[in-house]
């Protein structure tokens, strides 16, 4: 019995020892496998990152050569800028590998960067020779540039493939490790050990989390985080695939739509960004519902969406779908903060089988801006209407880029022209006039680019940007003890935009400027274009204390019956009637100026004469009881830091002209004096 007991005890002890050994071994195995999986995952992630960076560098290097060859065919500034941009991308990508990669990766990246620098220098020399039409560029290309590129291309291809293969090996190794770990854990389950089962569940949970995190990272990289729609990258891949399919079959076309939400900025400004996010979510849902399974909807950024129809047979098919999308966007958005009225502008571009993705995007974008300029709705790309001259399109792209980036370098600047009160010669207000300090074209006057903004849907954004500059400057002058009223010109489409009036009021409040120190100037013609909407907006602005001026009066042939309902404070007589005013009192211009002054006073408005270019006109305006005057005879528009001196000169000129002894019938200013006051 004792022997049996002893044997049982021994077997039990042996079993217990064996079970303990199994548990310890299993625990050690699982622990080692988990640590190895973690290390393998980290190595895999690093390898994937390095491989992706080398692939990006390879693509950027290839694009350098594409743009260089393009430049040889078409030596333009735009092509050269694209070359420089992709060259910078290649340099930055290699620099990132040097910063984040392992020792071997850093060595490879340094070698490639040195080759890239050499190739870039040679390419830039070649572009200079091409631009100068130097025949030696062919020899430089054949003997130096092309060999340097092929050497660089072969090296970066080899490196990218090597690191891609290494990353794939890391993936395979991780999978093998995970498989072995799963088998070991299954053996533990077969042994019936609860502890082993718990460990297995923990390990499997950890593995699932790794996979989920990888899937989530891939999803976030290719989808918009707010709406969940594909982003520009994934949409671009879908577009390229659709174009490739169209090129392969030749039986159908690809339709690309770009949609922009009209009135979205007003929602953000008045109801807040949370409401704006709700609008974007709902807009994405409505567009996706309208597109159905036949289309791909993506959010490109901001309030801009894109829709891809991979297979269409005619433009009518795409237009019908676009109309249904715009109709869906016009329905009120029920937000937590209250209802919001949003509409959409949608541009369509149809590609033949050989169409390129970027070209199709540009066409759809141009059509969308034409639709926006026409008040929203749908527009189909038309080369005659949307392309224009190359110079105009380049200016449009540059202006849009400035507004998208917020103009960090201050290229859009305001000059200010003093307005003198003729009763005492004092400067009480100034008019803000925009100038574009273009890096290549020099200082551009408004005539060079305002019409582009007005016909391309940028007029509201440009006006709001310039208004903010003027308001901040007026606030600074007020703090410095010079409370000038600043007059800002408003483009025709601004007052019919739902977000413009809230933006004006928010800008004034944000700068701490008293509303009476801001005056909005609108042309007579723009007011008459949509009198009802314009009058409503002007009443809302004027109720807040901001004054309103009717600019270029006398050139629009407007109805006085309509004009009397405009809530204006000031009438500005156009310069075309002032130009010859100082020469003869009996001219039709003099009669019209006197009549306009009387009309303005009878309506309770102050009257400003603009374009005063000689002292004789200034004297005659004083005799006609005109209230204010501005023009080259007093001062040219000057930068803000030059305004105090300009105001002093304008006041001296006005007071000298209106002093006792000067008569309206006296001789006009001599040519020498005119040259002085115009300078």
34-57 pLDDT per residue, tens: 776 777 677 767 777 887 888 888
Are both 480 and 624 inside the same structural domain?
yes
Inside any domain, residue 390: no
Cα 520 from Cα 509, distance rounded (Å): 16
Two structure tokens written together for 340: 């919001």
Domain co-membership, 216 together with 243:
no
Strand partners, 35: none
Of 195, 222, 249, which residue is a domain's last?
222
Do 550 and 429 lie in one domain? The reply is: yes
Q: What local confidence, expressed as pLDDT, does residue 586 receive? A: 67
Q: Is residue 286 located within the same domain as residue 433? A: no
The whole-number pLDDT of residue 608 equals 96
Region of residue 440 (left: phi > 0; alpha: psi -120 to 50; beta: else):
alpha
- Asked whether residue 600 is domain-assigned, the answer is yes
Residues 181 and 290 in one domain: no
Same domain, 549 and 649: yes
- 64 occurs within a structural domain: yes
The number of distinct structural domains making up the chain is 3
Q: Tell me if 300 is assigned to some domain.
A: yes
Co-location of 171 and 284 in the same domain: no
> Are 238 and 174 part of one and the same domain?
no
pLDDT score at 641: 95
User: What is the C-alpha separation between 560 and 531, in angstroms, rounded?
Assistant: 12
* Residue 667, pLDDT score: 38
In which residue ranges of the chain is pLDDT below 70? 1-20, 22-23, 26-27, 29-30, 33, 36, 40, 44, 188-189, 191-196, 198-200, 202-203, 206, 269, 352-355, 373, 384-393, 524-525, 528-530, 554-563, 582-586, 660-679
Residue 377 located in a structural domain? yes
Do residues 318 and 349 share a domain?
A: yes
**Do both 589 and 471 map to the same domain?**
yes
Look up the CATH number of the domain holding residue 607: 3.20.20.450
Domain final residue pick, 318, 348, 382: 382
Cα–Cα distance measured from residue 387 to residue 397, given in angstroms and rounded to the nearest whole number: 12
Residue 464, number of CB atoms within 10 A of its CB: 19
Of 222, 249, 267, which closes a domain?
A: 222
Q: Rounded to an integer, what distance in angstroms lies between the CA atom of residue 415 and that of residue 222? A: 45
Query: Facing residues of 417 across strands?
Result: 431
**Do 350 and 434 share a domain, yes or no?**
no
Question: What pLDDT is recorded for position 332?
Answer: 86
CATH number at residue 156: 1.20.120.1730
* Residues contacting residue 280 through CB under 8 Å, at least 6 positions apart: 226, 227, 261, 264, 299, 303
pLDDT on residue 46: 76
Q: Is residue 387 part of a domain?
A: no
| Same domain membership, residue 248 and residue 165 | no
Q: What is the CATH number of the domain that holds 294?
A: 3.30.70.270
Is there a domain that residue 333 lies in? yes
Q: How many CB atoms lie within 10 A of CB 305?
A: 29
Rounded Cα gap, residues 313 and 251, in angstroms: 8
Instruction: Output the CA–CA distances (angstroms, integers) from residue 360 to 296, 354, 504, 548, in the order listed.
Output: 15, 11, 36, 43
Query: What's the CA gap between 484 and 474, in Å, rounded?
Result: 7
For residue 455, tell me if it sits in a domain.
yes
Name the residue range of residue 132's domain. 2-222
Compute the distance between CA of residue 378 and CA of residue 257 in angstroms, rounded to an integer: 10
């Amino acid at each position: 019995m004792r022997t049996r007991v002893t044997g049982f005890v021994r077997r039990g002890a042996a079993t217990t020892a064996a079970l303990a050994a199994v548990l310890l071994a299993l625990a050690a195995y699982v622990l080692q496998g988990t640590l190895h999986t973690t290390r393998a995952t980290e190595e895999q992630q690093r390898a994937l990152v390095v491989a992706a960076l080398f692939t990006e560098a390879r693509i950027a290097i290839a694009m350098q050569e594409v743009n260089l060859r393009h430049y040889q065919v078409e030596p333009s500034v735009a092509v050269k800028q694209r070359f420089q941009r992709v060259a910078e991308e290649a340099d930055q990508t290699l620099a990132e590998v040097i910063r984040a990669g392992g020792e071997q990766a850093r060595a490879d990246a340094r070698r490639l960067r040195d080759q890239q620098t050499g190739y870039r220098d040679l390419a830039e020399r070649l572009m200079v020779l091409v631009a100068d039409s130097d025949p030696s560029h062919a020899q430089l290309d054949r003997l130096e540039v092309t060999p340097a590129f092929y050497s660089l291309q072969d090296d970066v291809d080899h490196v990218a493939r090597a690191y891609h293969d290494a990353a794939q090996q890391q993936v395979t190794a991780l999978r093998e490790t995970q498989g072995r770990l799963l088998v070991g854990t299954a053996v533990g389950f077969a042994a019936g050990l609860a502890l082993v089962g718990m460990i297995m569940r923990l390990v499997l949970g950890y593995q699932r989390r790794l996979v989920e995190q990888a899937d989530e990272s891939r999803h976030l990289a290719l989808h918009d985080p707010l709406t969940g729609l594909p982003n520009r990258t994934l949409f671009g891949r879908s577009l390229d695939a659709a174009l490739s399919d169209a090129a392969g079959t030749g039986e159908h076309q690809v339709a690309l739509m770009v949609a922009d939400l009209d009135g979205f900025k007003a929602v953000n400004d008045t109801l807040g960004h949370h409401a704006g996010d709700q609008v974007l979510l709902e807009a994405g849902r409505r567009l996706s519902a309208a597109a159905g399974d036949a289309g791909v909807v993506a959010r490109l950024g901001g309030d801009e969406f894109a829709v891809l129809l991979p297979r269409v047979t005619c433009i009518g098919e795409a237009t019908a779908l676009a109309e249904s999308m715009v109709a869906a966007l016009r329905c009120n958005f029920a937000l937590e903060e209250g209802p919001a009225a949003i509409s959409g502008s949608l541009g369509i571009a149809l590609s033949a089988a050989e169409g390129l993705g970027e070209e199709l995007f540009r066409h759809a974008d141009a059509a969308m801006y034409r639709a926006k300029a026409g008040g929203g709705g749908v527009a189909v790309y038309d080369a005659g209407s949307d392309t224009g001259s190359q110079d105009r399109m380049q200016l449009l792209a540059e202006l849009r880029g400035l507004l998208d980036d917020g103009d960090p370098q201050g290229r859009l600047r305001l000059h200010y022209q003093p307005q003198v009160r003729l009763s005492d010669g004092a400067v009480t207000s100034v008019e803000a006039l925009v100038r574009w300090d273009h890096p290549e074209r020099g200082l551009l006057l408004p005539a060079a680019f305002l019409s582009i903004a007005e016909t391309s849907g940028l007029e509201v954004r440009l006006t709001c940007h310039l208004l903010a500059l003027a308001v901040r400057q007026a606030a600074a002058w007020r703090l410095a003890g010079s409370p000038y009223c600043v007059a800002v010109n408003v483009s025709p489409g601004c007052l019919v935009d739902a977000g413009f009036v809230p933006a004006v009021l928010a800008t004034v409040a944000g700068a701490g400027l008293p509303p009476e120190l801001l005056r909005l100037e609108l042309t007579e013609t723009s007011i008459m274009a949509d009198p009802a909407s314009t009058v409503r907006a002007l009443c809302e602005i004027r109720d807040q204390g901001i004054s309103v001026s009717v600019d270029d009066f006398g050139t629009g042939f407007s109805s006085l019956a309509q004009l009397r309902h405009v809530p204006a404070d000031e009438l500005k007589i156009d310069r075309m009637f002032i130009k010859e005013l100082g020469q003869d009192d009996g001219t039709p211009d003099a009669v019209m100026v006197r009549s306009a002054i009387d009309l303005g006073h009878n309506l309770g408005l102050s009257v400003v004469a603009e374009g005063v270019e000689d002292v004789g006109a200034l004297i005659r305006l004083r005799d006609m009881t005109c209230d204010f005057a501005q023009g080259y005879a007093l001062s040219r528009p000057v930068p803000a830091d030059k305004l105090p001196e300009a105001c002093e000169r304008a006041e001296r000129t006005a007071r000298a002209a209106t002093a006792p002894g000067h008569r309206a019938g006296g001789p006009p200013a001599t040519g020498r004096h005119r040259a002085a006051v115009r300078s």
